[in-house]
Amino acid sequence: MLLFKNNSYSIYRFQRLLSLYQKNNETLSISSSVKLNATLKKLLDSKQYKEALDLFDQKFEKCTDFTIDMAIKACTISKDYKRGFHIQKRLSSNSLNNPFIQASLIRLYMQYGDVDSATRLFSSTAKKSNYIYTAMFKGLISNNMAEKVFDLLDEMEIKPDSFTLAILFKACAELANDRALKIGRKLLDEMPENYRNNVVVLNSAMHMLMKFGDIESAERIFRSNKKKDIITYNAIIKGYVGNEMFEKALDLFEQIHLNFDSVTYTVVFNACAGLANDRAIKIGRKLLDEIPENYRNDVVVLNSAMHMLMKFGDIQSAESIFRSNKKKTIITYNAIIKGNTY
């Protein structure tokens, strides 16, 4: 009887110790995963993608779905596609069903240009959220397949959220054909009231309307927008330039009381190039003289400035910018060659 009691106590003690050991291990595992995620995020924030991915490979057994999602994003940003595909092969079925991981894999495939694999992954997703749809729509647009966005929209069983709606307006702007006009206007008319003050949605809608040539409706949205940011102004100015309304573009530019970004400089230089009169020359030269140092190496801004100077007939200044441009692209060469034919 005593032996039985001793054995029972030993078994109880063993089970108790095992339970404590498992709990301690779980706590240590959670703690180490949190530390790993924090370290990985720190490396990604400092753009040390290779180091982050090397650490991910070393500590794969401790990785959570959050860690995996960060690693796939790092592969996409650093264009290390082979590594991204290898990560996918190592994932459990649970991780492969994580909607954030699915969206990140869709972005990876889309950036690689493998639309078929992205589409297969999207089709296999059981519960398609707006997050997944937005990733898919963005990828199709970046691969010049905006028409396919509308095909998927027809099958969509959930209401688009603000992010999805903004991307859909962008798809409509890219195509600007009869189907796009019909869909874009319908989406705009049926847009929920709580999105009508969303600056991202309004900027995208305004850009779409400008691409449709519907200046009046775009201006109406611009006036109703109570939270105008620099992107709002850029969208309307770019729209005016696209519709060859250069004077209006400069009128609006002179009303801006916000810090300019690279797009502002680019679209205003384009407006000045399109007009090329005394007013445009004065505004363009002043803007170029006052351009901040951090934009003086921006290849898009420099190409636009060079094009403007060529339209002004100031070959010497345009050539000076061409020589100082350390990141020349084919657009840079085209701008200077085309400028010499004016």
pLDDT digits (tens, 9 = 90+) for 302-315: 999 999 999 999 99
Predicted local distance difference test score (pLDDT) of residue 239 = 97
Predicted local distance difference test score (pLDDT) of residue 109 = 98
| Beta carbons of 316 and 309 less than 8 angstroms apart | no
State yes or no: pLDDT of 18 exceeds 80.
no
Sign of CA dihedral 129, 131, 134, 136: negative
Pairwise CA distance, residues 275 & 186, whole Å: 35
State yes or no: pLDDT of 17 exceeds 50.
no
Average pLDDT over residues 61-88: 95
**What pTM does this model have?**
0.82
Backbone angles phi, psi at 226, to 5 degrees: -85, -10
Low-confidence winner among 1-15, 37-51, 151-165, 292-306 (lowest mean pLDDT): 1-15
pLDDT digits (tens, 9 = 90+) for 115-124: 999 999 999 9
For residue 135, the one-letter residue type is A
State yes or no: pLDDT of 341 exceeds 70.
no
Pairwise CA distance, residues 112 & 108, whole Å: 6
Higher pLDDT, 150 or 336: 150
Q: Where are the beta strands (DSSP E) in the chain?
A: none
pLDDT digits (tens, 9 = 90+) for 204-262: 999 999 999 999 999 999 999 988 999 999 999 999 999 999 999 999 999 999 999 99
